[in-house]
Structure 1
């Protein structure tokens, strides 16, 4: 896993400030660049959906730095499903978790009764989630129908100055975006 050598404390604190005030950032993940924001901020999520030309009904992924950041979703699951989710994390696997009490806003969950969650080991993703103290929206950095950005230059080509920050760093070692597994059915969806 690459080290976030280009992500210094000043850049990390800027990203924290941007996210907490409702901004949108681009950042490297395991395989592609992502767009991120505070999932509980409707304005920020709406900006990402607009930038991507993505329908809200599709839903988006939440990424976390640790299991503790998503315990509020996991604690409501039967033990078997809880353990199934833990068996995939940390790592490049996204689990569809039942959102039993609708704790995640509709604008992130979409038309689903589940929420897609990944506990990442990518150092930049972890640092962003840790410094903000919450899981973040994570969706590929590209307009609908285009290939996800693989470097900061592509991020700029896609979105120019429409983002509040491009967080520096390297992609992880994954060649494809995270697998998505429905932990209730056991089916791999991607």
Structure 2
């Protein structure tokens, strides 16, 4: 299969591919998604096949209106409507109970709930409207690898497996949406993102953060809760403190291989780096770092001489909570420390 790059004036053609049951990757403000008609079970199954994604990992359903949610949701609580009004379109995914038999178990993972998202990206909203159906959209990458933030990332992983990719340039946010479960008595964030706990609580009051570890035989209610995610081939080490960087540089200089170094510009500019330290700037703040994290991990993944990656930590609050969630998963929770000698 030839994978076509669709430009922004070719959304009509991309929508026809969706209507024909084919897969088209689409941009959002967070990461690129792998799109298929959410009402076409065969097309949705092909999403799992293209990604190599476990079939019990439910898919987020992207919509272009609240009315589209109402067609499938069994109930939309008042608080959910308040959040939709405040944050949609935007980086908030809301899990709701759905009507029986309106979407296949291939979409829901066999659950009675579905995660809905109204992305803040006009080309994708146009795609959904022109296709006339909601569109499933897990990240458009090989399952387990860093999420794609450019059309080129998608092409790298999925060319020959999907019909096309809508190219809207680099994404703005860079980490996936916040996932909020509104199907329970107490709303709970299952995955942190750019919409923060404090922002949500300003609208609907107290909510919880998920601390539940999904068991081996348990179906997760949201992506990223059960399986390995965001991992490059090289081991990632989290560097917790600014004062650790000189020790990091000393360690890099002793290694017989290249080491990727992901940090803010202020750190990279003031460090005396050895020849085998390959720099990637995370910008000037946590907003920049979140937008660039996956791009950096992917760039180092394409450099076989890079056998390790050291990456800067940020305080786990607000957007930093989402950044650290992804970085911790990329590193498998491994921090730069005593083992690095």
Same fold (TM over 0.5): yes
Give the drift of 1:101: 2.7
- Secondary structure of 1:68's aligned partner: helix
Quick check: 1:29–1:171 contact (8 Å CA) kept in 2? no
- Secondary structure of 1:58's aligned partner: coil
Give the drift of 1:57: 1.4
- Secondary structure of 2:144's aligned partner: coil
Match runs of 1:52-131 below 5 Å:
52-74=51-73, 76-131=75-130
Match runs of 1:1-190 below 5 Å:
6-8=7-9, 11-74=10-73, 76-183=75-182, 184=184, 185-190=186-191
After TM superposition, the structure 1 stretch with the greater mean CA deviation from structure 2, 28-37 or 83-92, is: 83-92
Quick check: 2:70–2:76 contact (8 Å CA) kept in 1? no
Alpha-carbon spacing, 1:172–1:69, altered in 2? closer, same or farther (3 Å): farther
Give the drift of 1:70: 1.5
**Root-mean-square deviation (Å):** 1.8
- Distance in 1 of aligned mates of 2:171 and 2:141: 18
Q: Which has the higher contact order (CA 8 A, sep 6+)?
A: 1
Q: Residue by residue, what CA displacement relative to the aligned partner does 1:13-55 show, whole Å, maximum 9, x if unpaired?
A: 1111100010000111112111001011122111110111112
Give the drift of 1:173: 2.3
Alpha-carbon spacing, 1:171–1:65, altered in 2? closer, same or farther (3 Å): farther
Gaps of 5+ in 2: 1-6, 192-341
Alpha-carbon spacing, 1:147–1:73, altered in 2? closer, same or farther (3 Å): same
Give the drift of 1:97: 0.7
- Secondary structure of 1:97's aligned partner: strand
Quick check: 1:27–1:167 contact (8 Å CA) kept in 2? yes
Give the drift of 1:154: 1.5
- Distance in 2 of aligned mates of 1:131 and 1:113: 28
Structure 2 residue aligned with 1:3: none
- Distance in 1 of aligned mates of 2:83 and 2:158: 37
- Distance in 2 of aligned mates of 1:38 and 1:145: 23
Higher Rg:
2
Gaps of 5+ in 1: 1-5
Give the drift of 1:121: 2.2
After TM superposition, the structure 1 stretch with the greater mean CA deviation from structure 2, 135-144 or 71-80, is: 71-80
After TM superposition, the structure 1 stretch with the greater mean CA deviation from structure 2, 64-73 or 174-183, is: 64-73
Give the drift of 1:129: 0.8
Q: Residue by residue, what CA displacement relative to the aligned partner does 1:118-153 show, whole Å, maximum 9, x if unpaired?
A: 112211211111111221111101111101112122
